[in-house]
Amino acid sequence: MDKLLERFLRYIAIDTMSDENSETCPSTEKQYNLLNLLKKELDEMGMKEVAIDENGYVYATLPANTDKKVPVIGFISHVDTSPDMSGENVKPQIHKDYNGEDIILDKANNIILATSLFPELKKLKGHTVITTDGSTLLGADDKAGIAEIMTAMDYLINHPEIKHGTVKVAFTPDEEIGRGVDKFNVKKFGAEYAYTMDGGSEGELEYENFNAAKLTVKIQGRNVHPGYAKDKMLNSMLIAMEYNQMLPVNMRPEFTKDYDGFFHLIKMEGTVENSTIVYIVRDHDREKFEAKKEMAKKVGDFLSERYGKDVVKVELVDQYYNMREKVEPVMHIVENAKKAMELAGVKPRVMPIRGGTDGSKLSYMGIPCPNIFAGGMNFHGRYEYVSLNTMQKAVEVIIKITEIYTK
């Protein structure tokens, strides 16, 4: 695990936050600091066809060492970290032989990773747990996945007795802002099937994700001096509040789990004259997803009838779809991942992703791509942590998958 830890610490030391307001790819120049390092390390370890393209995507190949006809498989992780919290100057804390109790991240500011809030921590008793110091996110999403893929490839190169087919590797920018594979070169990658190493706790295996849309509601009000506003003023902020109140309360994220979908209010800004509210709309079931979008339109139509034709405008943009539709015809890729986990001493836990993944878009681009655990939890914030022991298991799962395809 020493090499794995060294790699992980090296990668999280590099700030790679993406920026949704940027139109470049990668969205931030600093992502190249890690992308170029990975290219260099892939070259040095002996991977072939190592390249970084004009959009910052890194590709590499581990040639087959068997004469058997074996499907070409791939492993993918993203280099960027979430804009939700700073990833600059990360100060990791390493807790060896973790005792299963609360972890004090920052005593002075009373920032505590509490087992009462995060009871899953107790399952990691005896593990080496890596946390933040409470001032940044950690970056395990998805630098844990990167470290695992790099370690697995290094191991396979140095253990030629393990037979495998051609293995492809790719590292992508901008996953956290929903553009992770927008410019992914499927032909250059050349894999028939792939796995993203971007999941959470040990055993997670996911081939279902949300159908996703962005909902933007723009309200045009009418500002009049409040002393003379009777029967004249339209306060766009109040209409925005009314719109929000008309969406079902039980369809908010804080009241949903498992396969439940939701409307999640992520942004609101306004004045009396103009207001904008933005939601993300999510559901695993395509019919329920379409019904939610239709509900959003009907609420807008109702308010337009009440206040005027051009007062409320609803804009919906689909973002991605449930990969299940593309994975089910080739379910052997899920079964192989389950077998690999069992061989690595991991109990598989097949579950839906309550979010998105690069694998979703890749599946619709022609590469069916389930998601495998990488060991991190509490992503995008100061309470993020990862188990080094779980990361080691993820490395073993990658290796076992490559072996299984040769059987």
Select which of 19, 41, 174, 175 is catalytic.
175
The amino acid present at 33, given as its one-letter code, is N
Distance CA 241, CA 245 (A): 6
Distance CA 282, CA 264 (A): 8
Q: Is 342 a catalytic residue?
A: no
The amino acid present at 370, given as its one-letter code, is P
> Please, what's the b/e burial string for 53-92 (b: 16 or more CB within 10 A of its CB; e: otherwise)?
eeebbbbbbbebeeeeebebbbbbbbbbbbbebebeebeb
List the structure tokens of 196: 């993203």
Distance CA 173, CA 43 (A): 19
Q: Residue 334: how many CA atoms within 13 Å on its side-chain side? A: 21
Helix H or strand E segment including 339? helix 332-343
Residue with tokens 């470290």: 147
Select which of 80, 174, 283, 396 is catalytic.
80
> To 5 degrees, how large is the angle CA 301–CA 302–CA 304?
65
Q: Is 80 a catalytic residue?
A: yes
For 73-125, where are the alpha helices, taking DSSP H only? Answer: none
Distance CA 82, CA 281 (A): 19
Three-state DSSP state, 243: helix
Residues with catalytic function? 80, 175
